[in-house]
A and B are shown apart, each in its own frame.
Chain A
């Protein structure tokens, strides 16, 4: 079975592995706290003070304040935890997904209704680089 390092050639994918789990531990714990209604209210009432209770890195803290979903994932957030922040702050999952994919909600929704993001061209970074090179030489 593959070790987690062997997944790095899969594009646009952040395996929630030993590194992410350690890096994102406090960030995900913060998100987990939003399972409770009183915590959701306290967070929304004063976000900076609430975040002070968690030992977040500066990048994690800023990503939370900015609702930068992709950045949270890159900083060790796990999508199932991060989506609790989305629900707390009124973001639909579609809005979060579109933001991570770098597109509009409408484009994202249409892509899904059209059958989703195709696997062709999205299997590996090597495949994408080869395709880009080929395109460049045409």
Chain B
């Protein structure tokens, strides 16, 4: 039987990917960011995931405004890193697992989460930056990755409560899968940031730290936080953090915090990383 062993919350700032790709990770500005993820990579190596389910959002890359699916799941054998307007990131092809992904699709839809099924999709920094941070600059990603893409760009995104419930349904789906697989789920995006308008550059470290605390200690309460509080307190684009609740919902209630890192700034954004492990992971 497959089992979710851990959850990862991780920012996906594009500038972090660019800094890595251009060999700037040792520079004074970037070093504290990358130093903070050194321990994360060690923990990932210890966790040895057989598969990653990565919750992220597309930033006008695979989806234009023509179609705006709220939740979609990639069932393709591979997902190519996209050219977002400045050339594709020099990172490995992302390989999926169609059999496992179709199992998730079936189970989730029959659990009344009406996923959009995606047979072909390029993936942007939202997906590839967390992979770089958690696995490093590698020739191949260490395991297949199932992209679970969420609309958080066009209002309204799904509610925190709905995201948490989707996580619960993902856990059930994983546990129904007959193969013995160690699954790690990523929730990505955030933390506080606003990258448009006169309020550009907003950071709210106190709110972010409280979010990280509640993610472990009070996830059900955190799932009740309305969108408007995210937008007001954590910046318009900070709404991405609702995606971390999908990750949290997929874990056990008593999951423990194994690691946390927080830093300001990376470009316009507060960077956060948290690793939560299930009992017996």
Contacts and interface: CB of A to CB of B under 8 A. Distances in A.
Contacts of B231: 7, 10, 13, 15
Contacts, number: 145
A101 B265 CA distance: 17
Interface in B192-237: 192, 194-207, 226-228, 231-233, 236-237
B205 A115 contact: yes
A2 B226 contact: yes
Contact of A2 (B85, B204, B207, B227): B227
A15 B204 CA distance: 19
A35 B83 contact: yes
* Most chain B beta-carbon contacts within 10 A, residue among A12, A28, A118, A124: A12
B84 interface: yes
A14 B197 contact: yes
B25 interface: no
B64 A28 contact: yes
State which size class the interface on B falls in.
Answer: 35 or more
Nearest to A21: B154
Contacts of B86: 87
Given A16-B155, A35-B85, A78 B201 contact: no
B204 to A, nearest CB: 4
Given A29-B65, A35-B84, A1 B156 contact: yes
Interface in A102-128: 102, 108, 111-113, 115-119, 122-124
A14 B82 CA distance: 27
Interface string A26-53: 0011011011010010000000000000
Nearest to A25: B65
A18 B155 contact: yes
Contact of A73 (B154, B197, B232): B197
A63 interface: no
Contact of A11 (B82, B195, B198): B198
A50 to B, nearest CB: 15
Contacts of A40: 85
A37 B156 CA distance: 32
Contacts of A118: 203
B181 interface: no
* Most chain A beta-carbon contacts within 10 A, residue among B82, B203, B226: B203
B207 A119 contact: yes
A54 to B, nearest CB: 13
B60 A81 contact: yes
Contacts of B84: 35, 84, 87
Given A1-B159, A16-B154, A84-B85, A101 B198 contact: yes
A21 B65 CA distance: 8
Nearest to A116: B203
* Most chain A beta-carbon contacts within 10 A, residue among B84, B196, B207, B264: B196
A100 B196 contact: yes
Contacts of A93: 15, 195, 267-268
Contact of A12 (B82, B83, B199): B199
B107 interface: no
* Most chain A beta-carbon contacts within 10 A, residue among B156, B159, B194, B206: B194
A79 to B, nearest CB: 4
Interface in B223-281: 226-228, 231-233, 236-237, 264-265, 267-268, 270
Q: Which 8 A-B pairs have the closest CB atoms?
A: A116-B203, A12-B198, A12-B199, A79-B196, A84-B85, A17-B155, A80-B59, A117-B201
16 contacts: A12-B199, A16-B155, A28-B64, A28-B65, A40-B85, A84-B85, A87-B85, A94-B268, A97-B200, A97-B268, A101-B199, A102-B198, A112-B268, A116-B268, A117-B202, A119-B204
